[in-house]
Amino acid sequence: MTTSVVLPVLTRQHLIDPEICIRCNTCEEACKKGAITHDRRNYAVDAERCDACGDCLPPCPTGAIDSWRRVEQPHPVAAQLGWDALPEEITEAASGAAPMPQSVVEMVKEASFGQGGPAPPPWSAAHPYVGLYTPDRPAEATVVGKRRLTGDDSEVDIEHLVLDFGKTAFPILEGQSIGVLPPGATEDGRPHALRLYSTASPRDGERPGSNNLALTVKRVTRDLDGKPVRGVASGYLCDLEKGDRVRVTGPYGTSFLMPNHPGAKLLMICTGTGSAPMRAMTERRRRRLSRGEGGSILLFFGARRRSELPYFGPLMKLPKELIDVELAFSREPGQPRAYVQDRLRGRAQDVARLLSDDDAFIYLCGHKRMEQGVFEALAEIALSHEIVWADLKQRLRTEGRLHVETY
Ligand SMILES: Cc1cc2nc3c(=O)[nH]c(=O)nc-3n(C[C@H](O)[C@H](O)[C@H](O)COP(=O)(O)OP(=O)(O)OC[C@H]3O[C@@H](n4cnc5c(N)ncnc54)[C@H](O)[C@@H]3O)c2cc1C
Ligand code: SF4
Ligand code: SF4
């Protein structure tokens, strides 16, 4: 008589790496299934709620969220909250377990490398420093510059802030973000979580050679459903005065970086404060023009009104050989509503040329709601030039040539 041995079945569990996670809460906001939770110490994923959809992967600034482990039994949330590091991966051979069910493997693959998952940086990007300063050990910066970017008649308040690090090293690249620790605590007594803000200045500072960086901060006065709120960190930053000190963590971001090689073509699509990384990259290019390190930039920039478009004046003064600008206003009095995707369609030939160019890099940054419309327009343009967008999009991501940062 033969005895049959029942092998344990391994599955993949979605987890968060506590050694890398900066506790910024971005993933918890992104997860519509309510699968992510946290306490004072850690962030954790509830295996019973997580369906591996991948929505939380692209917005995570550190990649801590993109952690997966083979398990026989899922690690409960309570256990994850106590971890200092991820557990070791168990292999099928070591556990004597049956192979993972194919559907889970496919699901994880799709989550990590399909729509979501961090794209690699452009092949020629400079090496980014990440997480040099943490919430427990933040850097201190001083506000040395502040000006309102939106018109006085506009109800939207977007501020340009310059933070100086003095003698503290804070190496940051265009496309990276910093964390800001707002003072005070939440209603239940926990210190406020840090919020992320993209640097709006190039790697050598707001003024070349200075140890500072600029931010473009919109005061949040309404939540995503239009209900009046007072944004904790954006309100704090927009109310700062010159001379005030700010606690800063980071830098963060290893993917949304610009190519370093001369001649690379940039297609930038942004709305509102999504202009911050675009300003940083454009200024980097402007400073390198005299060294012959050019390359075309085609920028699509959307706002509700002209008076709400950050950096409108300086942008319009940039030379045509540096940047080609298409503006879209959705609420400009006396003008038909236009969105960035409309402008993309209006420049379909130029956009298609870039989509077919192996030396073109695409950046999308701004309001979460722009993403769908922009991708639909790109898909249409691709199709009209006999390019299959789904295939191209996947290739662009794996080649580090498509970068999305929406919030
Ligand atoms: C990688 C990354 C880069 C970012 N870069 C910038 C930047 O350059 N400039 C910038 O201004 N912001 C940027 N943000 C957004 C920023 O981190 C904060 O989320 C934003 O300032 C709101 O924080 P708060 O503390 O003021 O609002 P909270 O107190 O956290 O939220 C108040 C309410 O407003 C809602 N809310 C949160 N964020 C927004 C929003 N952006 N618009 C409308 N409602 C919102 C919340 O759901 C909540 O109901 C970035 C986010 C990420 C993930
Ligand atoms: S988004 Fe990433 S870094 Fe932020 S809390 Fe989630 S896992 Fe941690
Ligand atoms: S993969 Fe989807 S369900 Fe799972 S934690 Fe992330 S957003 Fe939530």
Question: Would residue 127 count as lying in a domain?
Answer: no
Q: Using the mean position of ligand 1's atoms as its centre, give its distance from the Cα of residue 286 in Å.
A: 29
Does 216 lie in the same domain as 145? yes
Question: Which ligand is nearest to the Cα of residue 175, counting in written order?
Answer: 1
Does 58 lie in the same domain as 155? no
Measured in whole angstroms, how far is the alpha carbon of residue 326 from the centre of its chain?
22
The atom number, within ligand 1, closest to the CA of 276 reads: 8
Report the residue among 15, 17, 27 best suited for mutation to probe ligand 2: largest number of ligand atoms under 8 A from its CB.
Answer: 27
pTM of the model: 0.82
Which pLDDT score, from 0 to 100, does residue 99 have? 53
Which pLDDT score, from 0 to 100, does residue 102 have? 42
Whether ligand 2 lies within 6 angstroms of the CB of 249 is answered as no
Which pLDDT score, from 0 to 100, does residue 123 have? 96
Does 170 lie in the same domain as 220? yes
Question: Would residue 396 count as lying in a domain?
Answer: yes
67 sits in which H/E element: strand 67-71
Does 22 lie in the same domain as 97? yes
Does 28 lie in the same domain as 150? no
Question: Which ligand is nearest to the Cα of residue 48, counting in written order?
Answer: 3
Does 313 lie in the same domain as 197? no
217 sits in which H/E element: strand 212-218
Which pLDDT score, from 0 to 100, does residue 84 have? 85
Question: Which ligand is nearest to the Cα of residue 14, counting in written order?
Answer: 3
CATH number for the domain harbouring residue 230: 2.40.30.10
Question: Would residue 260 count as lying in a domain?
Answer: no
Q: Using the mean position of ligand 2's atoms as its centre, give its distance from the Cα of residue 48 in Å.
A: 19
Q: Return the exposure string of 102-133: e unless at least 16 CB atoms fall within 10 Å of the residue's CB, then b.
A: eebeebbeebbbbbbbbbebbeebeebbbbbb
The atom number, within ligand 1, closest to the CA of 182 reads: 25
Does 305 lie in the same domain as 398? yes
Question: Which ligand is nearest to the Cα of residue 134, counting in written order?
Answer: 2
CATH number for the domain harbouring residue 44: 3.30.70.20
Does 156 lie in the same domain as 100? no
Question: Would residue 49 count as lying in a domain?
Answer: yes
Give the residue whose CA is nearest to atom 6 of ligand 2: 27
CATH number for the domain harbouring residue 366: 3.40.50.80
Does 384 lie in the same domain as 289? yes
Q: Using the mean position of ligand 3's atoms as its centre, give its distance from the Cα of residue 218 in Å.
A: 28
Whether ligand 2 lies within 6 angstroms of the CB of 35 is answered as no
Give the residue whose CA is nearest to atom 47 of ligand 1: 223
- Asked whether 259 and 361 are in contact (CB, 8 A), the reply is yes
Question: Would residue 258 count as lying in a domain?
Answer: no
Question: Would residue 288 count as lying in a domain?
Answer: yes
What's the sign of the alpha-carbon dihedral 17, 123, 199, 316?
negative
> What is the total count of domains within the chain?
3
Q: Using the mean position of ligand 1's atoms as its centre, give its distance from the Cα of residue 220 in Å.
A: 7
The atom number, within ligand 1, closest to the CA of 215 reads: 8
Whether ligand 2 lies within 6 angstroms of the CB of 44 is answered as no
Domain of 276?
Answer: 265-406
At a CB cut-off of 8 Å and minimum separation 6, what does 176 contact? Answer: 128, 198, 199, 250, 251, 252, 253, 256, 257
Question: Which ligand is nearest to the Cα of residue 117, counting in written order?
Answer: 3
Whether ligand 1 lies within 6 angstroms of the CB of 160 is answered as no
Does 277 lie in the same domain as 383? yes
Domain boundary pick from 214, 229, 252: 252
Q: Using the mean position of ligand 3's atoms as its centre, give its distance from the Cα of residue 56 in Å.
A: 6
Which pLDDT score, from 0 to 100, does residue 101 have? 45
Does 269 lie in the same domain as 248? no
Domain boundary pick from 206, 230, 252: 252
The atom number, within ligand 1, closest to the CA of 200 reads: 8
Q: What is the pLDDT along the chain (407 residues), one digit of tens a residue?
A: 555 556 556 678 999 998 888 888 888 888 989 999 988 788 999 999 998 888 888 778 777 898 888 888 899 999 999 998 898 876 655 556 555 444 433 443 443 433 445 578 999 999 999 889 988 889 999 999 999 999 888 899 999 999 999 999 999 999 999 999 999 988 878 788 888 899 999 999 999 989 999 999 999 999 878 899 999 999 999 999 999 999 999 898 888 999 999 999 999 999 999 999 999 999 999 999 888 788 899 999 999 999 999 998 888 899 988 999 999 999 998 889 999 999 999 999 999 999 999 999 999 999 888 889 999 999 999 999 999 999 999 999 999 999 988 88
Distance CA 160, CA 167 (A): 22
Question: Would residue 78 count as lying in a domain?
Answer: yes
The atom number, within ligand 3, closest to the CA of 30 reads: 7
Domain boundary pick from 66, 98, 113: 113
Give the residue whose CA is nearest to atom 4 of ligand 2: 24
Does 242 lie in the same domain as 185? yes
Residue 137: both structure tokens together: 């050990």
Question: Would residue 123 count as lying in a domain?
Answer: no
Q: Using the mean position of ligand 2's atoms as its centre, give its distance from the Cα of residue 34 in Å.
A: 15
